[in-house]
Structure 1
Amino acid sequence: MIKNFRLLLIILLLVSCKQQQRLSANASEQDNELLFSMSSSSCMGPCPVYEIALYADSTLVFKGEENTKLQGLNQKKLSAGEFDAFMGLIKMVKWNELNPRYVSDMSDLPSQEYYYNFEGNNIAVYKYGLEPKSLAELNRAILPFVYHDIFGMQKE
């Protein structure tokens, strides 16, 4: 009886380990899923040109190309607090209510592209010119947040 119990216990441990390995493999595949991205193009003036990407494993990538305080490729694994704060910025936008394109007749404006991928929603938005208030608020908040709160740059 004790022998059978030991054999059963060993079998259960092996099955449990295999299941845990499969769960870990699936989690690592999902960790690199892109949750949010935003890019901004150049204009004739000092418009910042950059790309921001947030991944499910809490990695934030910022690529500063022109007129940004951070130049080149910058990457950071966010703490839980930083990730939640960044998510708060992103979720202040009513993504489900946005149109896929916002285009103005004005010239020499930077274009911006957004990608939002949460809770089964995959939303892409292109903007050139005027945008809804929530996107305008995100645009005003995101660079200072990345510079100061994520990468610890001093405020000027």
Structure 2
Amino acid sequence: MKAIGIIISIILFSCSAYQKAEYSEQSNLITLIKSRCRGKCPVYQLDINTEGESIYHGIANVRNKGIFKFKLSHNELIELKNQFDELKFHEIKIQQKTKYRDVAYTTIKYQGTSHSYRSSWEASPLKSIVEKLDRLIQQNVSTGNNQKKIYKQ
């Protein structure tokens, strides 16, 4: 009986490793990272590659914990790219991180350029993009949608 449990564990872990391997970080187009704070700040990471394949990792203080995989439509991907281009993402100048300990940061990466800002800054030029990405997460990683859950915490 113990041997069956070990075999099942090996199969599950090997499938999980294969699914993670097929998504290459080198093909990432967009990455959104929400960092920890001492309170109830949502902590998660979203990676979207050039084909619209997306991996969401809900870590803490989020409705859906674990790793989920979903695919954006061609139109959703084009709309995101246009929003980044209209904002002139590569040209934005944002104040550097401060050394405060209890401040959550949002980091957005697009085509190799990365910007971080305090999540509490209402006037951030990146707020509209973060809200759009959050809506895509809610639409694709909620109970009942056709997302593929890779790993549950």
Structure 1: 4+ residue segments shifted above 6 A: none
Q: Hey, what's the Cα distance between the residues in 2 that align with 1:31 and 1:105?
A: 29
2:125 corresponding residue in structure 1: 134
Percentage of matched positions with identical amino acids:
17
Q: Hey, what's the Cα distance between the residues in 2 that align with 1:40 and 1:31?
A: 18
1:94 corresponding residue in structure 2: 88
* TM-aligned CA distance change 1:126 to 1:32, over 3 Å: closer
TM-score, reference length from structure 1: 0.61
Structure 1: runs of 5 or more not aligned? 1-29
Q: Hey, what's the Cα distance between the residues in 2 that align with 1:67 and 1:91?
A: 31
Counterpart check, 1:81 vs 2:75: yes
- Matched to 1:57, the amino acid is E
Helix, strand or coil: the match of 1:96?
helix
TM-score, reference length from structure 2: 0.62
Any conservation in 1 of the 2:37–2:101 contact (CA below 8 Å)? no
* TM-aligned CA distance change 1:48 to 1:127, over 3 Å: same
Aligned pairs, how many? 120
Ranked by relative contact order (alpha carbons within 8 Å, sequence separation 6 or more), the top structure is 2
Helix, strand or coil: the match of 1:69?
coil
Is the radius of gyration larger for structure 1 or structure 2? 1
Deviations along 1:80-114, one digit per CA (max 9) or x if unpaired, are: 23323443554453312223653357652212222
Match of 2:58 among 54, 64, 77: 64
Q: Which stretch of the first structure deviates more once superposed, 128-137 or 44-53?
A: 128-137
Any conservation in 2 of the 1:102–1:131 contact (CA below 8 Å)? no
* TM-aligned CA distance change 1:53 to 1:90, over 3 Å: farther
Q: Hey, what's the Cα distance between the residues in 2 that align with 1:93 and 1:58?
A: 20
Structure 2: runs of 5 or more not aligned? 1-23, 145-153
Any conservation in 2 of the 1:52–1:61 contact (CA below 8 Å)? yes
Counterpart check, 1:44 vs 2:34: no
Match of 1:123 among 113, 119, 139: 113
1:143 corresponding residue in structure 2: 134
Helix, strand or coil: the match of 1:99?
coil
Any conservation in 2 of the 1:103–1:130 contact (CA below 8 Å)? no
